[in-house]
Amino acid sequence: MYETLIYEARDDISIIRLNRPHCLNALSLKSYAELGLALEAAIADEGVRVIVIAGAGRAFCAGADLNDLAGHSDAGADLIAAEQELARNLANAPKPIVAAVHGYALGAGAELALGCDFILVSKTARFGLPEVGLGNFLGGGATQILPRLVGLAKARELVFLGEMIDGLEALRIGLANRCFPDEDFDAGVRDFAGLLASQSPLSMRLARSQLNKAACLSFDEVLSVEADAMAQCLAGPDWKEALLAKAEKRPPRFKGAGGA
């Protein structure tokens, strides 16, 4: 089905793997279109609880494919529109999304990772936003997301200077959630995704939505949304299963819907 990526659903986890290793998985217009389709497929699949975005070969994603700009007068505008459409789809997805970053995550590739809920990195990963130094600008929502993760001062440094940081530094500043030795990276990603998949899908969907928008709400609005979410959870099957599992001294087996 796809020319630029590999889509795989195993158990309750889908893996969307960028598959243009010859150009370090640089994002073309077709890449963006197929990422959107794969994301839709993972969201629509009721068996999928967690989505992982990864890269084949030596890198996660080295940025936008500048070859797409050659000979096409509107290609730049098309790339911007495609990147921002994907950013919206990532932000509005009802399921948790994990970026598994090894090798390079630069420019649009770094912004793709920032659009996910969790960033897992290998120790030798190289993360950078070189746009300003190239006379360009960021287009995937990074100017809002990055300061939330690392603070405004560090965000300015990363954006203005365009310096690359490794996996350990990404973890230290709060950009990454986990950093694994290169040889343990794949196993670490699988374990983390599996842990997410074991949680209540309904509770995660509600928490994801609220955490993403709470900063734009008043405190009273936050309390109102939380009360509605708690009511949904208390009326759903996962709360009952959690209580039963606790009484039976076993891990819960959640089945609540995690879709839109």
Catalytic residue numbers? 111, 131
CA distance 127 to 110: 6
> What is the DSSP track for 58-85?
T-SB-SB-GGGGTT-TTHHHHHHHHHHH
Tally of residues, the chain: 260
Query: Within 13 A of 243's CA, how many CA atoms are on the CB side?
Result: 7
> Cα–Cα–Cα angle for 116, 87, 149, nearest 5°?
45
Q: Where are the beta strands (DSSP E) in the chain?
A: 5-10, 13-18, 50-55, 97-101, 104-106, 118-122, 126-128, 165-166, 178-180
- Tell how strand 118-122 and strand 165-166 pair up: unpaired
